[in-house]
Amino acid sequence: MRDFLPISREDMKSRGWEQVDFAYVIGDAYVDHSSFGPAIISRILEANGYKVGIISQPDWKDDESINVFGRPRLGFLVSSGNMDSMVNHYSVSKKRRQTDAYTPGGVIGKRPDHATVVYCNLIRHTYKDVPIIIGGIEASLRRLAHYDYWSDSLKRSILLDSQADLLAYGMGERSIVEIADALSSGIAVKDITFVDGTVYKTKSLESVYDAEFLPTYEDLKADKLNYARSFYTQYCNTDPFSGKRLVEQYGDRYVVQNPPAKPLSQSEMDRIYSLPYMRTYHPSYEALGGVPAISEIKFSLTSCRGCFGGCSFCALTFHQGRIIQSRSHESLLVEAEQMTHDPEFKGYIHDVGGPSANFRYPSCEKQLEKGVCKNRQCLFPKPCPNLKVDHSDYLELLRKMRKIPKVKKVFIRSGIRFDYVMADKKDTFIHELCQHHVSGQLKVAPEHVSDKVLALMGKPSNDVYRAFIEKYKKVNDKLGMKQFVVPYLMSSHPGSSLKEAVELAEYLRDIGYMPEQVQDFYPTPSTISTCMYYTGVDPRNMQPVYVTHNPHEKAMQRALIQYRNPANYELVREALIRAGRDDLIGFGPKCLIFPRKIAPKKPDGAPVKKGGGYKKNTPPAKKGKKR
């Protein structure tokens, strides 16, 4: 019978268990849905015969909070949740967020900062010798020395600070079963050094014969350029077929990163998504208002994982990898049909996608044998000659989805790669996209318009985006549909000075669009862009990169994107003057803002009485017309 996994000793006893094999400590509320990493890991372990109990959002100030199930037979698993705990808690300006979508009722503060470290230290305080295995996005992206934006410092591998025994990085389905089998067979956790997709610590390298040595932690702290070189070595070893074992030294200890786990086959992906998820949050949260995050994914389908897009500011290369793994049509159609029986289903499938919705297979034939190219991207700066551009499988999947009884509309909301669309010689995909899968507005991510900044972002040049917009408009016109593009834009990315920010503002002026929201560049761990932010160089070529760390300049760059907002007037004016572009302050059609209000005077020089003059930022009325 399908049911949630135990969350209490009573639940455990009702299953006839005297002890769990693994107690899984997570920073999120317990949501048993395949879009949540802890749900996948716990269900895979269950499918392989292991007993898992969930300890969700324990009180980290109380030792008893992790004793829900007593001592687990094999060990503790720890994850901060679906999001990095620091990103979950703080905006890019380091201000505390007001809500947490992964907590019942959206309440903030139910997990600690650096949750993985805090939970592990809480466990270790009580259980000195029980194995602790950490994983999830927070651990995965901090597996080696990394820049921590919130403390503005270089931190050690999270494996050391957390006192955990083993770290499973990436998606973890393969490695967690190997780890569990090894522990169950009686192998000590310190001897589990052979599992791909894991990181371990050791005082001896006697058994490590094929590793590449990174600079020591002391060397990394001594010179930021050493960190840039080290980071790029890590970046070039994220492929499961060509990636090498890496070693980072900390005094008399070593942290060893094994090569990434191999990608899952389609049948393995299908099996993972067919496990008996309850597809919602635990009923104990109902009285608290439920878990807000479920609304975004309840009627969405994950069709693929991985991304060969290679954006510099994205950590997917380090976490899911560049090789696309996808589910079969049959697997997805079964899940979609199940959705239609949910009482809350209104006929709309919100998304069928992944990191990039229109990627369904590896970008070229050789990847599943030889891996991805180390020093070459599939789409940047131009599509690789070996790139296989084919939307036919995705189109066929979407057509089948549209035919499911009770399904009124199938949307694509996870985003498409417009440069991949433009590389397709056929227009079939963009035609069907516009006709069937857009809800009035298509969200795409050009991120910027300056080719200088785009090159550092790993994004295609602006002319590719402009060509896509033109094609999108032509297709919609042909269909007689009024649909628009909502571009995601980023301010203050490395390489963007006020000059490039003004260039972006001028583009928005020309298309008559002002974004409601702007994303400041957020230096999260393990991205090329974060490495640029910290070191001031592009790790790919070690060339200097302009980086602003000044909060005021960041505010000006952000304000320029929303230059029409009256609240941003002073910031925009200052930015234009600093950039030497005060020609954009005036009444001309190309100006971004009007001049400041100047107190008018009578011909004799006397000031006009209160109420005279023009409204702030309002141009003079034309003769014979009302203002």
Q: What angle do CA 599, 600, 606 make, to 5 degrees?
A: 105
Tell me what pLDDT residue 571 has.
97
Tell me what pLDDT residue 549 has.
96
E strands present in 452-494? 484-491
State the average pLDDT over residues 217-245. Answer: 97
Going by C-beta distance under 8 Å and a sequence separation of 6 or more, which residues neighbour residue 288?
A: 104, 105, 107
Report domain extents, the chain. Answer: 9-202+252-257, 489-627
Instruction: Using alpha carbons, list the distances in angstroms from residue 117 to 139, 157, 160, 164, 356.
Output: 9, 11, 9, 8, 31
Q: Would you say residue 625 has pLDDT above 60?
A: no
Tell me what pLDDT residue 1 has.
62
Q: Would you say residue 523 has pLDDT above 50?
A: yes
- The percent of residues in the chain predicted with pLDDT above 70, rounded, is 95
Token code pair at residue 306: 């991985």
More confident call, 522 vs 627: 522
State the average pLDDT over residues 444-460. Answer: 96
CATH architecture of 9-202+252-257: 3-Layer(aba) Sandwich (3.40)
3-state secondary structure of 593: strand
pLDDT in tens, 356-415: 999 999 999 888 888 999 888 999 999 999 999 999 999 999 999 999 999 999 999 888
Task: Report the mean per-residue pLDDT for the chain.
Answer: 93
Letter string b/e over residues 338-356, b meaning 16 or more CB atoms within 10 A of that residue's CB: ebeeeeeeeeebbbbbbbb
Tell me what pLDDT residue 39 has.
98
- Phi first, then psi, for residue 444 (nearest 5°) are -130, 170
Q: Would you say residue 603 has pLDDT above 70?
A: no
The Cβ of residue 498 has, within 10 Å, a number of other Cβ atoms equal to 20
Going by C-beta distance under 8 Å and a sequence separation of 6 or more, which residues neighbour residue 358?
A: 391, 394, 412, 416, 417, 420, 421, 429
Cα–Cα dist 224/192, whole Å: 33
pLDDT band at 458 (very low <50, low <70, confident <90, very high): very high
Helix, strand, coil percent values for the chain (each to nearest 5): 35, 15, 50
Tell me what pLDDT residue 368 has.
82
Cα–Cα dist 362/237, whole Å: 18
Tell me what pLDDT residue 547 has.
98
Tell me what pLDDT residue 605 has.
54
What would the DSSP string read from start to end of 372-398? S-SS--SSSSS--TT-----HHHHHHH
Tell me what pLDDT residue 137 has.
97
H or E stretch covering 306: none
Tell me what pLDDT residue 518 has.
84
Going by C-beta distance under 8 Å and a sequence separation of 6 or more, which residues neighbour residue 91?
A: 97
Q: Would you say residue 11 has pLDDT above 90?
A: yes
Instruction: Using alpha carbons, list the distances in angstroms from residue 313 to 228, 428, 451, 490.
Output: 15, 31, 16, 10
pLDDT in tens, 538-555: 999 999 999 999 999 999
3-state secondary structure of 409: strand
Per the DSSP assignment, residues forming a β-bridge with 410 are 349
Token code pair at residue 192: 């589990």
Cα–Cα dist 616/596, whole Å: 7
Burial class (CB in 10 A: 0-12, 13-18, 19+), 390: middle
State the average pLDDT over residues 15-44. Answer: 97
Cα–Cα dist 604/585, whole Å: 28
Tell me what pLDDT residue 598 has.
53
State the average pLDDT over residues 490-506. Answer: 97
pLDDT in tens, 287-322: 999 999 999 899 999 999 999 999 999 999 999 999
